[in-house]
Structure 1
Amino acid sequence: MQLLDGKIASKAVKEKLQQQVNEIVSSGKRAPHLAVILVGNNGASETYVASKVKTCGEIGFKSTMIRLDVTVSEEGLLQEIIKLNQDEALDGILVQLPLPKHISEQKVIATIAPEKDVDGFHPISAGNLMLGIPSFIPATPYGIMLMLEHYNIETKGKHAVVIGRSNIVGRPMSVLLSGNNQYGNCTVTLCHSHTHNLKELCLEADIIVAALGKPEFVHADMVKDGAILIDVGITRVADATKKSGYSIKGDVAFSEVAPKTSFITPVPGGVGLMTIAGLLKNTLKAYELRTK
């Protein structure tokens, strides 16, 4: 069993990005600029946004964080996005999800200018991904592909089972793994809550991507020897033994599954770090497209 370490893989991506930013700035141009909008004070969202802003600083990106009260109206948030769309010194816009229930995530995503959609959620980005047209890839699936590339994981001809069909991870992940590219060319089965023979499908899988948000859902009896496990889940579970009062759990029961695998991602320290790497690569791409 080899650990697919997000710290190592993301460090390699960040070092490359930092080198590219240094070259841009030394040539007299401005650095790429990412804006992040945070609505309310959700603890997990606060952590994610802080990590994104910190990483921007580490590699030389400029970042702007916009905090809005949880009571902000949908129209108020949309107007804030429109202002950012019109800012020529800004390359990428990210609205941290989830949003309060009175705000439509679909309207928010559709309002972001497609050329600044570094989260890869806009319908145009999703359509281009489906058609195989170069576009912004949702950050988590993109990060997973970057991890496969970093560790040079052979995927061609393998059977991949993706558990979870969200537009953020599951669906785009199935498209990327089935695509005609170096770390794709898999035969993909996309599973969800209504899949009857999930265990049997998983036992046939060479690669399992668990992205359903249920802590320790995938157990050893669902995994064949030598499989590759990509754990996208990250759930806070109450734990009185921890100072914080909770533990972070993935969708895979790591301790029992890991010995059966050839490669596996840890939680934390795996896909989450690669998500930020994917986001920053999208931001640099947006900058390059906008400043040509």
Structure 2
Amino acid sequence: MTAQLLAGQPVAEAVLADVAKRVEALATHGITPGLGTILVGDDGPSAGYVRKKHETCEEVGIRSFHEGVPSEATQDDLLAAVDRFNQDPDVDSYIIQYPLPDGFDFNEALLRMDPDKDADGLHPVNLGRLVLQEPGPIPCTPAGIQAMLIHYGIDIAGREVVVVGRGPTLGRPLSLLLTLKQTGANAAVTVVHTGVKDIGFYTRRAEIVIAAVGVPNFIKPDMITPGAVVLSGGITWKGKRLLADVDESVGEVASWITPRLGGIGPTTVAMLLRNTVQAAERRAGIAA
């Protein structure tokens, strides 16, 4: 069996086309959405992610703003940048690029954010909104994974999904999202992690496996039942090479698989911009 590829770019392009139309509609109300980014330090991959977000903003007509915090700065400097974005009326939503260098407290900065300006959907208020199925920003990578499954016609409702990883930015919110009673969800979700002795026991019975551990090539072919759908949400940089959680040889067993490059990444950026335009629509009093 040779798996079909779950390419992220076509999904991202569809989302961004919708975002661009909504940006045009907001312009008739005199509003241009604004996305802010806070980058602490000069980590290469993080800086690249931030740069890509700003480039994509320009493509769809969203203004972008940036706060750089040097790695030798203090936690108070980071919190001051958060306060500036909270108070800036031109910034509808913003992110604190994760992970932060040693010595900085991401959770404290996250809690300092105005939850209505939380573009990543990770503030506890917004995770609570997700649980209650109330309107609010949905965490971007989980939302991108869901959009990808919907785009390729992969039914989720009632199917057994195993999420490998329980991190606060991906595994945990994804498991919540896919259990909701709504389109593109309503699954039977099991969450396992590296503390589980036999992860393969769970992944081999799953119809859909989503890896979110950040360990290169963690998911091997013998952990997958033939015909399963396999997505890699976690990534690791080895020098300049990006490695996925799912070994590429899994494509010989799975029916669908994300590619090592061009998988979840483009959809994550697209969902960030969707959250931003939704925040601007709320500011304009337009139902999203």
TM score, norm. by length of structure 1: 0.94
1:200-279, aligned counterparts within 5 Å?
200-238=201-239, 246-254=240-248, 256-279=249-272
Residue identity matched to 2:156: T
SS in 1 for 2:39: strand
1:100 aligns with 2:101: yes
Aligned to 2:195: 194
Aligned to 1:179: 180
How far does the alpha carbon of each residue in 1:176-209 deviate from its partner, in whole angstroms, 9 at most, with x for none?
1111111111111100122122111110000001
Distance of 1:196 and 1:80 partners within structure 2: 42
User: Structure 1 stretch 31-40 or stretch 96-105: which is displaced more?
Assistant: 96-105
How far does the alpha carbon of each residue in 1:128-166 deviate from its partner, in whole angstroms, 9 at most, with x for none?
212222221111101111112222210111100000000
Distance of 2:72 and 2:205 partners within structure 1: 48
Aligned to 1:9: 11
Distance of 2:148 and 2:32 partners within structure 1: 25
Q: Deviation of residue 7 (structure 1)?
A: 1.1
Q: Deviation of residue 30 (structure 1)?
A: 2.4
SS in 2 for 1:71: coil
Contact conserved, 2:31 with 2:284, CA < 8 A, in 1? no
Distance of 1:285 and 1:135 partners within structure 2: 8
Mark the runs of 5 or more structure 2 residues left unpaired by the alignment.
none
Distance of 2:284 and 2:260 partners within structure 1: 37
Mark the runs of 5 or more structure 1 residues left unpaired by the alignment.
239-245
Residue identity matched to 2:238: V
SS in 2 for 1:204: coil
TM score, norm. by length of structure 2: 0.95
Contact conserved, 1:178 with 1:188, CA < 8 A, in 2? yes
How far does the alpha carbon of each residue in 1:96-128 deviate from its partner, in whole angstroms, 9 at most, with x for none?
111122221111001110110111111101112
Contact conserved, 2:203 with 2:223, CA < 8 A, in 1? yes
Contact conserved, 2:65 with 2:91, CA < 8 A, in 1? no
Aligned to 2:60: 59
Contact conserved, 1:234 with 1:268, CA < 8 A, in 2? no
Contact conserved, 1:146 with 1:278, CA < 8 A, in 2? no
1:118 aligns with 2:119: yes
Residue identity matched to 1:195: V
Aligned to 1:282: 275
**Which structure has the higher relative contact order (CA within 8 Å, separation 6+)?**
2
Distance of 1:180 and 1:28 partners within structure 2: 34
Change in Cα spacing, 1:130 to 1:88, as seen in structure 2 (3 Å) is same
Distance of 1:47 and 1:176 partners within structure 2: 28
Distance of 2:104 and 2:243 partners within structure 1: 29
How far does the alpha carbon of each residue in 1:54-89 deviate from its partner, in whole angstroms, 9 at most, with x for none?
000001100012212111211121122112111112
How many residues align? The count is 283
| Two-structure CA RMSD over aligned residues (Å) | 1.2
Aligned to 1:18: 20
Give identity over the alignment, percent.
36
Distance of 1:78 and 1:189 partners within structure 2: 36
Distance of 1:75 and 1:248 partners within structure 2: 33
Q: Deviation of residue 33 (structure 1)?
A: 0.3
Q: Deviation of residue 237 (structure 1)?
A: 2.3
Q: Deviation of residue 28 (structure 1)?
A: 4.9
Aligned to 1:243: none
Residue identity matched to 1:148: L
Residue identity matched to 1:23: A
Distance of 2:116 and 2:7 partners within structure 1: 31
Aligned to 2:149: 148
Contact conserved, 2:162 with 2:208, CA < 8 A, in 1? yes
Q: Deviation of residue 259 (structure 1)?
A: 2.3
